[in-house]
Structure 1
Amino acid sequence: MNAAPGQGAFEGGRYGEAYFRPGQAGEGERIDYGALAYDDISLARLRALGAGPGWRCLDVGAGTGTVSRRLLGEAGVESVLAVDRDVRFLGERPVPGLDLLEADITAPGSLSGQYDLVHARFVLMHLAEHESLITSLAALVAPGGVLVLSDAVDLTSDVTPATPYTAAMRAMWQGLRATIGTDVSWVPSSPQLLRGAGLEPVAAEIHVPPLQPDSPISRFWADTWERSRPAMLATGLVDDAGIDAAIRYLVSDECAALSAGMLTAWGWKPGERTSGP
């Protein structure tokens, strides 16, 4: 899934260091499982917002580049600048109109320019500076353009039935927050944060992919738990047997649970677009 690590004094460093390292075997495949689960939804929303010929786009935390390439190939946008802290996956399948930038977006001045679409998916949830970064990303939107942010929403709660899946998800969120700073508690406030950054009108929606045996999202979560196992164990909420049981639960007909949702919020920069086909 798209990732751009942020700064913070966490025991596991930043996203992509102690956990989810780009150089770790299979990490690109894990990201692609997420893409298979969410890309169609993301592309449908971006196209509904008008992304198409003449649009200049910035894809922040572009991961393996699936959204960037589909914006070019299906939406027909003019150009995409795909940004990630590590671009090794982005350079594997170059296409015309796709430019790459290896940058840490938390560094001042790392991004510049004006874009009709600024898009970031599953990026800000990993960044302690998410609120200030929303303001920075909004500044990159050209007049008449749109900022689109997607991040995870945890759908487990105190009243969620106890299952191996529920225990694993709670341990994952708590463990990743303690080790690398991943925090989804603020995500429902995304529309208000977009308004606070000077964008209007704003709107939002949530998509929850179904958990089915061998589905991309089920394989994504199983792989994510394997890679974050030490952080999950450190919470004391699960043990190794509990994580293994959760993985088996995902591929069984007993599975009756909600995946984490993807909340997508968008807001428009006041003014008239000057670019076009």
Structure 2
Amino acid sequence: MTQTIGWNDFVDTEAQVEYRRLTLLEQIFDPFTLRQLGSLDIQPGWKCLEVGAGAGSVARRMAELAGGENVVATDLSVKFLAPLADLGVTVLHHDVTADEAPGAFDLIHTRFVLDHLPDREGVIKRMVSWLKPGGWLLVEVGTTLPELSSHPQTRRSMEVLDRVLTERVGTATTWARTLPVPLEAAGLADCGAEGMIMPARGGEPLAEWLKNTTKLVEAHAVDTGLITREELDEAFALYETPTFLDYTWMTVAARGRRA
């Protein structure tokens, strides 16, 4: 059985190509995320935690709503988070699976993190313990939908992406489809969830992000014979073709409140 190595050992999280992937992620998914945050009616003075802050856009919005001095942004790689300090945000190198609580919070949010953690249910329970009474946990998790692909080669490339992430990182690529049950199991009240599927059109940001995400596994997949160079090149070309359209990624946002 292949031993998993974890996201930060699999991906160079400080490379410029990863920064490009993170900023694309923000461009694509922030509207959905900010709508979820808006529905919680964040007030000035709320203590807010962003777990896995990436390039910082969600923590920036939290600072606008709650005040920068009330926001903590954490990640295992904080290279891209330095500008948040100008807003008064506290930036911490922090491992959500092992480190002590960075405070007590009215809101904790995390996006595209839990699916990469082997003990994701345990991490949910840890974050729940960091909430103040009445505080909200909002989690966003992605799930691939290769079975909905409009072309055999993009389906193949996504199936290979799933397999490599599962075997090498420990990612659970379909776990999002269980939400909000894990939040209910952690004892949260008022739980609910919403899923969003967007069209990935060739040459547009989501297609570019899917291509760049698949590139994370490219060398390993080709070297180990999981996919041929020709198959992968065809999938990448489709992601750049304006007439190509796919619906193979869903984001699920789930929330729950500590009673």
- State TM-score, norm by structure 2: 0.92
3-state SS of 2:251 partner: strand
- Deviation of the 1:117 alpha carbon: 0.5
Moved more, 253-262 or 240-249: 253-262
- Deviation of the 1:202 alpha carbon: 0.3
- What is the letter of the counterpart of residue 80 of structure 1? V
Distance of 2:188 and 2:66 partners within structure 1: 25
Alignment-derived partner of residue 54 in structure 1: 45
Q: Does the C-alpha gap of structure 1 residues 234 and 12 become closer, same or farther in structure 2, counting only changes over 3 Å?
A: farther
3-state SS of 1:101 partner: strand
Distance of 1:94 and 1:10 partners within structure 2: 40
Moved more, 189-198 or 161-170: 161-170
- What is the letter of the counterpart of residue 83 of structure 1? T
Alignment-derived partner of residue 127 in structure 2: 137
Q: Where in structure 2 are the equivalents of 1:225-240 lying within 5 Å?
A: 225-233=214-222, 236-240=225-229
3-state SS of 1:214 partner: coil
- State TM-score, norm by structure 1: 0.86
Alignment-derived partner of residue 184 in structure 1: 173
Alignment-derived partner of residue 32 in structure 1: 23
Q: Does the C-alpha gap of structure 1 residues 37 and 235 become closer, same or farther in structure 2, counting only changes over 3 Å?
A: farther
Mark the runs of 5 or more structure 2 residues left unpaired by the alignment: none
Whether the aligned pair in 2 keeps the contact of 1:37 and 1:209 (CA below 8 Å) is no
Alignment-derived partner of residue 4 in structure 1: none
- What is the aligned-residue identity percentage? 27
Task: Name the structure with the higher helix share.
Answer: 2
Alignment-derived partner of residue 182 in structure 2: 193
Alignment-derived partner of residue 203 in structure 1: 192
- Deviation of the 1:234 alpha carbon: 6.0
Q: 208, 213, 216: which is aligned to 1:224?
A: 213
Distance of 2:100 and 2:219 partners within structure 1: 32
Alignment-derived partner of residue 59 in structure 2: 68
Distance of 2:145 and 2:158 partners within structure 1: 9
- Deviation of the 1:214 alpha carbon: 2.6
Alignment-derived partner of residue 104 in structure 1: 95
- Deviation of the 1:101 alpha carbon: 0.7
- Deviation of the 1:235 alpha carbon: 6.7
RMSD, aligned CA: 2.0
Distance of 1:204 and 1:13 partners within structure 2: 30
Alignment-derived partner of residue 118 in structure 1: 108
- What is the letter of the counterpart of residue 7 of structure 2? Y
Q: Does the C-alpha gap of structure 1 residues 265 and 142 become closer, same or farther in structure 2, counting only changes over 3 Å?
A: same
